[in-house]
Amino acid sequence: MRIIVLSRLWRLPSLAALLAMVLLLLGLVTSVAHAQVRIKDITDIQGIRNNQLVGYGLVVGLNGTGDSLNNSIFTKQSLIGMLERLGVNTQDQAASLQTKDVAAVMVTANLPAFTHSGEQIDVTVSALGDAKNLTGGTLLVTPLLGADGQVYAVAQGSLVTGAIAAQGANASFTQGVPTVGRITNGAIVERSVNFNLAGETAPKLELRNPDFNTAARIARVINHQLGGGVATVDDPRTITLALPKGAVVTDLTAIEELRVRPSTPATVVVDESTGTIVMGADVRISTVAIAQGDLTVRVTNTPEVSQPNAFGAGKTVATAKTSISVSKGKGKRMDILKGSVSLRELVAGLNSLGVAPHDMIGILQAIKADGALQAKLVVE
């Protein structure tokens, strides 16, 4: 009887132990969930992309802030051509056209994949001549061409720059860029780009950040879910999928929701202009000693006036007295950063030197030159 009781007591954990096990499992699940991402967030389907469109047009209705027709000959020629197409004869008055309410512009847009005829897309309008401000202008009908020279959309509408510009006799104020505007839903699609995804038998996934390990993990997860031989890794960027015809869309929908843990290279990115430093989680350094000094050289010019005597000959001359001082910062020391440390320890070690971000960039570059930084250093 005692043996049975002891057996039951051994099988039933205490409340504290049970709580600890639950917290441990929750921690493991949370860490795994945070480490994994959806396949759709790190890959694209080959062939599904945007297409760039461009066109040349005229913006009218500007309050004297358009192109100068004498300086922008193309604007004048475009205005005359447009008026003649509308039945207005400008041959006799072409030389006397002096309006500044018209501006020549370039119109650009992105045609998304699977956009059909009749849908609307946004366009961006940019001044081409010497126009000062496009605010309040109206873009006239402008065909938008693709790389093949075909018209895929037609743009027209009132544009918004979101800029503020004011000018007086002796001062001016400008906020934003008044020579670039945007028209929401400003173009109507006239032709769509044909891409039959449902008819594809071997669609390809393209990794946005090519990596052998990540590609292999994606193929492993897909084959585990849909069966062996479905996914094949072609190279660090491309994965070919062998899907049955008629079920491509359904299978791709399921594949995009699968989760993998991407493998990211150890990289340190620094921006010297802003002092920004970004480090990956796998950045490591070998043991290295660092000393960061502070040497200041100050040059001071003090103006002085050399004036001759009252009865002496000569002129009053202004001279400059120059003094140079050199000072060294105190309190700096040489610290040792131990190798094979985590990102948190690496940042803490660099912060212990008490240096600014711009100085830290120089330290990282020196560590990389020494060969102690086991990561790729990207300087922008």
Encode pLDDT of 34-86 as tens digits.
468 999 999 999 988 899 999 999 999 998 899 988 888 888 888 888 888 88
Query: Residues near 305 by Cβ (< 8 Å), separated by ≥ 6?
Result: 316, 317, 318, 319
pLDDT tens per residue, range 91-123 = 766 666 778 899 999 999 999 989 999 999 999
303 inside domain: no
Q: Are residues 64 and 182 in the same domain?
A: yes
pLDDT at 30: 42
Q: Are residues 239 and 366 in the same domain?
A: no
Enclosing domain of residue 42:
38-46+196-260
Average pLDDT over residues 121-129: 95
Q: Are residues 141 and 231 in the same domain?
A: no
Q: Are residues 121 and 68 in the same domain?
A: yes
pLDDT tens per residue, range 345-366 = 666 766 766 667 777 777 778 8
Residue type at 111? L
Q: Are residues 228 and 279 in the same domain?
A: no
Q: How many whole angstroms separate alpha carbon 339 and alpha carbon 202? A: 47
Reported as a pLDDT band with limits 50, 70 and 90, residue 148 is very high
Average pLDDT over residues 315-343: 59
For the cut 70, the answer to whether the pLDDT of residue 156 exceeds it is yes
Percent of the chain with pLDDT over 90: 35
Average pLDDT over residues 169-192: 86
Q: Locate 233 and state its tokens.
A: 């890794």
Average pLDDT over residues 16-41: 58
Contact 56, 107 (CB under 8 A): yes
Q: Are residues 154 and 234 in the same domain?
A: no
Reported as a pLDDT band with limits 50, 70 and 90, residue 343 is low
357 inside domain: yes
Q: Are residues 215 and 241 in the same domain?
A: yes
Reported as a pLDDT band with limits 50, 70 and 90, residue 378 is confident
Q: Are residues 113 and 153 in the same domain?
A: yes
Residue where one domain finishes, among candidates 260, 276, 308: 260
Average pLDDT of the chain, as a whole number: 79
Query: Which of 3-7, 262-266, 296-300, 338-342 has the least mean pLDDT?
Result: 3-7
CA–CA distance from 247 to each of 39, 113, 132, 239 (Å)?
Answer: 19, 20, 55, 18
Number of Cβ atoms within 10 Å of the Cβ of 272: 13
212 inside domain: yes
Q: Are residues 277 and 371 in the same domain?
A: yes
Q: Are residues 144 and 212 in the same domain?
A: no
146 inside domain: yes
Q: How many whole angstroms separate alpha carbon 110 and alpha carbon 89? A: 37
217 inside domain: yes
Residue where one domain finishes, among candidates 217, 240, 260: 260
pTM above 0.85, yes or no: no
Work out how many domains the chain is built from and give that number: 3
279 inside domain: yes
Q: Are residues 125 and 223 in the same domain?
A: no
Query: Residues near 62 by Cβ (< 8 Å), separated by ≥ 6?
Result: 100, 101, 102, 103, 131, 133, 134, 136, 137
pLDDT tens per residue, range 277-327 = 888 777 877 777 766 665 454 555 566 766 666 665 566 666 656 555 545
Q: Are residues 236 and 109 in the same domain?
A: no
For the cut 60, the answer to whether the pLDDT of residue 172 exceeds it is yes
25 inside domain: no
pLDDT tens per residue, range 254-282 = 999 999 999 888 888 888 778 788 887 77
